[in-house]
Chains A and B, each alone.
Chain A
């Protein structure tokens, strides 16, 4: 296939150049593979560490509410967990020692929720004392990790949180059918807790939703109307170019600086509550304002001038032209920009740390001004927690967060596909 008109030296050069070409192409492919490989590893690791969160184990315990051991005058003062642990041992046919160490160890296998459940039962019906009542509660986080195989018997006993004896008991309970694995609904119906097995993301999800609501209510009208003025009304002069430069720079300001602004202006200056969805939402609104303005302007620019000219020609005023014709035509693009900026705001953490959103907040936020946790901050808090059981929950919460972001982004993509207009 060699071309006889090209000299040997030329052939060699050509070969070299083609080899260089192949190498260059390979670099490009390699870069893409590296980037996508990182993505795969990142998502793979999150899924690998997090999927176990959605599965958990519950234990069914029959508790004999021994009248001899329950102080009726002070129900709250009783240690029901200890009482139940004794029952559990009896069912396992294990003799407790005189110090009660075995009961103590058995107590560490069952969630503290059990004690509160017994207390609630007795408060509702004091006559239950003396009867045997059956309760189904989550197992303690470490026991759950053992059932999931994350705490292994092969680890030296000093390096693990569960003793050999406890492992034997857990195996026996499982064999007796008292322990059942099931979907972890508590993760979605409970809020943060000091006990990993009872910690869930509901509070954080509600907090995030409230915060995004505040951010959207403030940033969307301001951003869209601001963009309308800049794009459709403002005379192209010094003023509008100043604002434009300003907005472009604001979009590139580190998010933590917006947190400082929120701390000084909203929390210290105006006395807004710390750690509340209201304050956080306002900070996020300021942060997403430039992105919304930029996206809206791009969408408005894409509407061809003929639409405006036609409307003006029919006698509409400029305001009518913009609000009756241009903005509706641009709305798919505007909506896409809004959704993307809100999805970005959903994942933002640093500015919220600045306004004090690192506090432990059990329960649901009652109002916009009460303390709340949000998903990314919850992830940060759990990631910092010492107990191993929080680590799977961190990854679980990340999966929830990513799921929300995927839904939002998919909505944006769909919107773009469905309503995109080619002029």
Chain B
């Protein structure tokens, strides 16, 4: 773990970015030059009477690709991976004096060694003379390694560029199928680009799993998923009596669920009726006005919704309930009145309603698509039987669109669960299990933000618990999405 933690402060950009970008620009310039050479050679051949297989430019591009691409890739790889290699080599075999230090001091030692080697200022850690010598020695080691690495990177890039060029230059001939070869390169690049999306998913899964497993090594997954007590902050100080903290996430799930439920109570009817009105009743002209306005609502950043919740909706709800409370107090419903008078703006209702507003355009546009996909013949049949419009909607269109609408609702639920800013700004931070919308609850995403902002070290359960929450969130939303997308797609195809 020590090595991992030490990696964390290798935050400065190592190899000076100037030389790196210079090297890359140089390679690009060389590639352009080589392109020009290759094209000229092909042209000379063509003017010599030979019939070229491809346009001369393709010969140039082919040579340029062989010269530039491998060199640049190797350069980038070595310069990104190099420092980490250096880091692990440096601390792989720690001298006895360092391995006997407490882990934090050792960490400071390694980061100071690296800072020294790059001529940067060191930390304020007071080193003894003996440690100082050791530090200097290690710094020298690191410096030498950095230099070797740098030389190796630039050297290899140069060798590769030259080798690539020498490899393909003699092969330029009129019969060479240069276009096909260039297209082969393009094809590889295209595949790599679409693989990026898959790699992102893999990256998410691996990184979440990696950290979450470290968390579950400390806290049992069962305690996490079914525990009723969430008190991660206690784990801050190791010397406290209850140093372990409590990581039962059920209160968070309950809070998330409550806010999601409130949001869906607002968004589902309003969004669905918006979609029905837009697709079945609205004239094309009012549709042309209303649809973009709903898109504006969809485009408002969530941080703005959070601001709206805190400074407008929260205070409005609070004064509304306090007013009702003051009206009920000292009457037959006195306890209820007293309770309502003490209600705060941070309640679940605020976050839920604002999240509902956010989801309205989402649900309405998804449902709109689905309702529009119901074939006109069904409507015509219904009208021909004498049904009114509302009867057509409720008895014909909605039943046939139901699976799709359900899919849309599931997608909205998944968004509500993953939504962060509104709850971070407007929901409470106190974990509690309640079904009362006037209480303040906290959610999974809000806790993740709280755990991961501010000072964090990646070796305690408190910080790592955020990844447990993240993994749970990812799995739940992914499941919802998979089901919902399946349903929506299947339904869309059914009428095609």
Contacts and interface: CB of A to CB of B under 8 A. Distances in A.
Nearest to A25: B281
A49 to B, nearest CB: 7
Contacts of B302: 347, 349-350
B390 A225 contact: no
A246 B204 CA distance: 12
A271 B470 contact: no
B283 interface: no
Given A249-B478, A273-B13, A380-B303, A38 B470 contact: no
A247 B198 CA distance: 7
Contact of B194 (A229, A263, A346): A229
Contacts of B299: 343-344, 347, 405, 409
B11 A227 contact: no
Given A45-B311, A46-B308, A243 B197 contact: yes
A133 interface: no
Decide if the interface of chain A is mainly helix, strand, loop or mixed: helix
A88 B466 CA distance: 54
Given A226-B190, A226-B195, 20 more contacts: A28-B280, A31-B277, A35-B361, A38-B297, A221-B193, A228-B190, A254-B474, A257-B204, A264-B467, A265-B207, A267-B11, A270-B80, A271-B84, A289-B200, A347-B299, A349-B301, A350-B302, A369-B13, A401-B301, A405-B301
Interface stretch (A66-74, A119-127, A178-186, A353-361): A353-361
20 contacts: A30-B273, A32-B277, A32-B290, A35-B274, A38-B360, A39-B296, A225-B190, A249-B481, A254-B419, A257-B474, A261-B204, A261-B208, A264-B208, A269-B207, A319-B186, A347-B304, A349-B301, A350-B449, A380-B303, A409-B296
Interface in A241-264: 242-243, 245-250, 252-258, 260-261, 263-264
B201 A246 contact: yes
B191 A39 contact: no
B297 A35 contact: yes
Interface stretch (B240-248, B337-345, B410-418): B410-418
Contacts of A102: none
B293 A394 contact: no
B90 interface: no
Contacts of B294: 35-36
A398 interface: yes
Interface stretch (A13-21, A56-64, A138-146, A160-168): A13-21
A254 B12 contact: no
Contacts of B305: 42
Contacts of B272: 31
B204 A253 contact: yes
B448 interface: yes
Interface string B420-443: 110011000000000000000000
Contact of A28 (B11, B281, B452): B281
Interface of B: 4, 7-8, 10-14, 17, 80, 83-84, 179-180, 183, 186-187, 189-191, 193-198, 200-201, 203-204, 207-208, 210-211, 269-274, 276-278, 280-281, 290, 292-294, 296-297, 299-308, 310-312, 357, 360-361, 364, 388-391, 393-394, 411, 414-415, 417-421, 424-425, 445, 448-449, 452-454, 458, 466-467, 470, 473-474, 477-478, 481-482, 485
A350 B485 contact: no
B388 A42 contact: no
Contact of A354 (B10, B210, B452): B452
Interface string A221-233: 1110111111001
Nearest to B194: A226
A286 interface: yes
B388 A18 contact: yes
Nearest to B482: A249
Decide if the interface of chain B is mainly helix, strand, loop or mixed: helix
B351 to A, nearest CB: 14
Contacts of A267: 8, 11
Contacts of B478: 249, 253
B360 A28 contact: no
A203 interface: no
A412 B137 CA distance: 59
A263 B306 contact: no
A258 B196 CA distance: 14
Most buried by A among B80, B179, B272, B452: B452
Which 4 A-B pairs have CB atoms at the shortest separation, nearest pair first? A254-B418, A347-B301, A28-B277, A31-B273
Contacts, number: 285
A326 B4 CA distance: 48
Contacts of B300: 42, 347, 402
A274 to B, nearest CB: 7
B380 to A, nearest CB: 18
A318 B17 CA distance: 39
B459 to A, nearest CB: 12
Nearest to A41: B312
B358 to A, nearest CB: 9
A250 B200 contact: yes
Interface in A297-327: 317-319
B276 A28 contact: yes
A24 interface: yes
A17 B449 contact: no
B96 to A, nearest CB: 28
A256 B388 contact: no
B470 A257 contact: yes
Contact of B306 (A24, A344, A383): A383
Contacts of B281: 25, 28
Contacts of A379: 303-304, 307
B303 A347 contact: yes
Given A20-B390, A24-B393, A274-B11, A256 B448 contact: yes
A401 B306 CA distance: 14
A394 B306 CA distance: 12
Contacts of A265: 203, 207
A376 interface: yes
A135 interface: no
Contacts of A91: none
